[in-house]
Amino acid sequence: MTFKNSVIYQIYPKSFKDSTGDGIGDLRGIIDNIPYIASLGVDYVWFNPFFPSPQRDNGYDISDYCSIDPAMGTMEDFDELVAALESHGIGVMLDMVLNHTSTDHEWFQRALAGEKKYQDYYYIRPPQPDGSLPTNWVSKFGGPAWAPFGETGDYYLHLYDPAQADLDWHNPDVRAEAAKVVNFWRNRGVHGFRFDVINVIGKGSQLLDAPLGTDDRKMYTDGPDVHAYLRELNEASFGQDPDSVTVGEMSSTSIGACVEYTRPENHELSMVFNFHHLKVDYADGRKWTLMEPDILALKRLLNDWSLGLQAGGGWNALFWNNHDQPRALDRFGDADRFRYESATMLAAAIHLMRGTPYVYMGEEIGMSDPGYTTIDDYVDVEARNAFAELVDAGHDEEEAFRIVHSKARDNSRTPMQWDSSAGSGFTDGTPWLQPTNQAEVNVAHEETAGRILPFYKRLISLRKSTPVISEGDYEPYAPDHPDVLAYIRRHEGRRLLVICSFRGHETEIDVPEDFLDGEVFVSNYPARPLRPRLSLSPYETLALLV
């Protein structure tokens, strides 16, 4: 088994299963549901952070890399979780947030207390001669990327929230600490690691203003040192495990950079996440807008990345959903009229593609965005701030809410819907975030009479048993078709034509003659005769094998 024929399941622990009745998911709740996870046939489970954290950024502001947040459980629970998953042949993938620490972390607190050693762990700079901030960089969460470093008159860099201070990877002690963290978890049986925003660790030793009118992200993204740092981390930690699986989250990245991160001979990472395809419904590149997704742009991005990584010998992580994205079923499908068809088409589109597919919890049962009606239903500070900013900018509250509801991160963080009860089987108490449509969409129903969950299980199984899926070359088909994503996979004389309609109406596509006698390998509609000019039903997917 390699990462090429693996499928990875993502769990947001806070929302998976609550075992104590406090309304917050925990490790024990995950342990209790390992039989369900194993039934999917997945090979790894990626867990979002469950380390101690003040939770300014939902656990991505870590105050102790080598402990378990008491709200989530104990280290004994974690060890039991690893062993229980391993007994089913499932590995653990942990989220490593090594670009920044929480300002509550001991290192930052000791830096504040005046210890030079720990001040050198961070980017601490004086103001410019005119009194302005050290650079004109903007935080990805809004506002300047610099905050006062105590009462010293200096500033520290935070590319994200002010509570997340960027680590200076130029310091060999920082790189040694990063390897030490990875090795701590390796020694507890972990051989999978997801590295958060890892391509911004290569900032220059001298930090410079972005020229006026340019994108300041270019000043610190995909810097040349990232490759050297990843190779060093690989050699000092996870690279010592022949079965390690790693994925880097790449912010504002490029195909060329990601080829280098993932080429096996470079000894950096197994695969990469990029997010370009999930911005095709951003009007003028702005997240907080309403826009129908540009399907041609979506196709172009998926094709370009598949071809680019293939040509360079790199490898992609394939996904529609995660903890920071609204549910793809609402973005690219129709959860009301065509829930089954939309969900299965989206699944086939990436599970049959070149790369390693990721399934975000609830995706496999057709979970969609919650039916919230007011901004008070949301917890995430980003959504609340965006709503306030939209209203301040002149939008009426109804329109501002519609915009936020279409893009909010909490849309994917609602509790896993296990059954139709008020707490969706997630908790006996009051859930930290309310579910809304669990009466119609839940695991219990899908396991007994559903069609989406069995479809996912089949796709997961096919990747393991069908080399043309896991190993085959990728070739776009009908790239200019306005409604349909289609591609051909090739491996050792076998070819697979994959057709996916992204529209809620009928559309047509030409089928190559040599596929007309092929095997219908995957389909989400009843069988019918194949013709050279094929009429596709709403959100139909079809894969033909010859």
- Residues with a known catalytic role: 196, 249
CA 386, CA 395: separation in Å to the nearest integer? 11
Give the Å distances, CA to CA, from 386 to 61, 67, 284, 311, 539.
Answer: 21, 33, 17, 40, 32
The alpha carbon dihedral of 12, 18, 20, 23 has a sign of positive
CA 247, CA 533: separation in Å to the nearest integer? 40
Pinpoint the alpha helices (H) of 105-171. Answer: 106-112, 116-119
For 201, phi then psi, to 5°, come to -80, -10
389 three-class SS? helix
For 311, phi then psi, to 5°, come to -60, -35
DSSP-assigned letter for residue 122: B
Query: Which DSSP string corresponds to 47-109?
Result: E---S----TTTT-S-S-TTS--TTT--HHHHHHHHHHHHTTT-EEEEEE--SEEETTSHHHH
> CA nearest 32: which of 339, 437, 312, 426?
426
CA 266 to chain CA mean position, Å: 24
Give the Å distances, CA to CA, from 369 to 10, 301, 363, 463, 513.
Answer: 17, 24, 11, 28, 41
CA 337, CA 505: separation in Å to the nearest integer? 11
Cβ burial of 293 (10 Å; 0-12, 13-18, 19+) is: middle
DSSP-assigned letter for residue 352: T
**Rg of the chain (C-alpha set):** 23
CA 484, CA 545: separation in Å to the nearest integer? 18
